[in-house]
Structure 1
Amino acid sequence: MKRRTRMIVTASVLAVALIAAGAFGVSQFSESDSDEIETAADAEVIAPQVVAGAAGPPAATLDGLVEQLLVRVEAVPGDHVAWATLGIAYVQQARVVADPSLFPRAQAALEESLAVEPDDNFLAYAGRSVLAAGRHRFADAKTEAERGLEINSFNPILWGALSDAQLQLGEYDEAAASVDRMIELSPDTSSFSRASYIAELNGDVNEATTLMQQALDDAGSPTDRAFALTILGDLKFNAGEPGEALTLYNQARDAAPDDAAALYGKARAEAALGQNETALDHYAELVEASPEPSYLVAYGELLESLGRTEEAEQQYAVVDAVLALFEENGVENDAAPVLFLADHDEPERALREAERAIAVRPFIAMHDAHAWALYASGRYDDALEASEQALRLGTPNAQFHFHAGMIKLALGNEDGARVDLERALEINPFFDPLDVPIAQSALAELGPAT
């Protein structure tokens, strides 16, 4: 959780919800994750299939859209587009409120859509892809996107969904090719943001920033604008520039005041700038609205770094409850829970979860989490091998280098440890309120290179 990576998985697949929603008059959503909702380029293809105005007055929020769609499918149960859109909206609702119990509702709506129209229904397969991704079942997400593309190979949203799944499966070249195809079909916020992420993963932060600026320039709604500004803020923060990041997060909040990802970035930047009480206030606001595990852990770790251990433990207890809820609703663990367990004295459980997850999701963040679980379990040689996999793309991730440095230190490779720990602090001297002091202390003990 504290090592929150930039995720576009399921993000602009959710644009499909707006494709149909456009026919209902929906122009703006409230959303609260690092993911985006945006109007798709092929809106004219799907929107005519929905009877405009049948669901009543325009919805102003995601909750309003769900209510309208429920009215619609009750009135016209044969509307497969409305059923598919309802399924996608439920997935996004689950993300907004960190409530995976909405996933079974999404699944039921998507199954109903396919029961109504089993053949010419690429929208339902887009929904099934986004649902599988929401459950961290990326092989299934890839399969569903490919099934949708068999029906409509010119749909950019499906190419985006495919690229998201390919990235998480470690198919980096294939993901880049899918994004290129998506840009050919629809050069917009959604496609440019994916291209930006691939550039970032490959170590080209300047290109990532340029592409994300293009995504901002093409933003067609306040939500799109907030998303692009937040990612630009993340790029600045991850490069060790919290002041510039805070400016961008504030602009994102101006565009979409309810955007949780922007508020998370804002709190993190404020803490890096020493504005701890303001940051804590914003974290409290954030987890009240969206008790997503990564937000809860970030809040807890800031509290812990300030010596407020009891309050931190209260946040960690909520994390345990949320993870249990995820598991009950079919969500596979990803890197975040593994890191949380490894950092909170559950190395055996962390390693079990890591080994299960890495087998089905060999993304670099999962390799890093696997490395850290192996380190926490005392398996340093294996941890080093996993860490090398995490760093193989050249991603400028301070946390990855911190982990690599600590693993090398445990192996007695002081020169290697010094290089990675220095690199972590060079990339971002504010990357984590608990791990930064550990890195600084380790470097002080190592002393200068001889």
Structure 2
Amino acid sequence: MENPIQFVQWLRSVAPYIHAFRGKTFVVAFPGELVTAGALPVLAQDVSLLHALGIKVVIVHGSRPQVEEQLALRNLKAHYHNGLRITDAAAMECVKEAAGELRLDIEAAFSQGLPNTPMAHAAIRIISGNFVTARPLGVIDGVDLEFTGVARKIAYETIHPILSAGALVLLSPLGFSPTGEAFNLTMEDVAVAAATALHADKLIFVSETPLMTDAEGRDVRELTAAQANALLKTGQLPADTAFYLQACVKASRGGVPRVHIVPFEMDGSALLEIFTHDGVGTMVSTENLETLREATIEDVGGILKLIEPLEADGTLVKRGRELIEREIDYFSVIEHDGVIFGCAALYPFPAEKMAEMACLTVNPEVQSQGDGERILKHMENRARAAGFSKLFVLTTRTAHWFLKRGFVHATVDDLPKDRQHMYNWQRKSLVLIKQL
């Protein structure tokens, strides 16, 4: 291995996500264009990795280019209204043909198991069936869409036991009515209906669209459902991107906490989106994902994992779990999508109206994004609210960072009396004070 240290650091960095996602339900949806592009085997490997990590996965596939191909073979012309296919009886036969062929291709992709490949020893079972109940869309603007339908119900009571038994569930863009008719559905509609009915933790669209950008050309990485809806109203997005984003908003409003759009052109995009802080696509959430708040006892494990490397190299004074548990009320944390990326503690010295900020730590992955400064401002506000007039820190390696933010050099004699008695003369930490 060329760089074993980098590998170990990477593996440690994804551990919090692995712990957070084990036992959760993800819906992974992709268009027929992904299969046409030859990306199905790689996606199958990535989904099998999610499965191996204990994540329950439902797969939803699209079939538009495959249906177009079947129509062309029969010398039939495709008809659309407002972006939706008008599915007559002949087109419906093409839809069934395409869905059946794709289902077999997907099952074959998940049957890979050659030695020295990512799916060696995987033995994944994938189950499909009549899990989607649908109804016809009917007549819209005077146009009869015939066998084009919309999902009405997902058989979640049947799907949940299948997932719990360790199998994957595959949903095609087809639904069935109580009268025995089949209807052509959109992949996005089935995916949203499935994620909502199953109370999925994530819905991931592995799409043919590039990363979303705003009017100024800046990457759009995170949006709340309200922000996404406002962006849609501007009308600036390409039609395909807008269609995906509409589905994201609908899923978010249906109770799906996180909905992602990632480009399949990037190798491993789904994994990068799930297991890295910034991801590679656009995420729509029911609320702002990053919160800066006072810590609770449930945060102790995350704080320990964050500060342990700095304790090991001597940057921070070593603290045990019991000490952090006792002092948890002094801590504040920055949390992003359930993972703690920064923390600090505020120790009061009321007699001198001073407070010490200690253990200021930000995950190395995000140190250039201003989280350290946000935590500092938060702790200053906590100190002011508690009636303190001065904030001080003791540091051996980051004095310059604090000096740039208004702290000035001081001496041990300037510290509160009780803190002077606890000063560690072996570490010889610099004393910096800021007037609040």
TM-score, normalization: structure 1? Answer: 0.24
| Structure whose residues are more often helix by fraction | 1
Whose RCO is larger (CA < 8 A, sep 6+)? 1
TM-score, normalization: structure 2? Answer: 0.25
Whose radius of gyration is greater, 1 or 2? 2
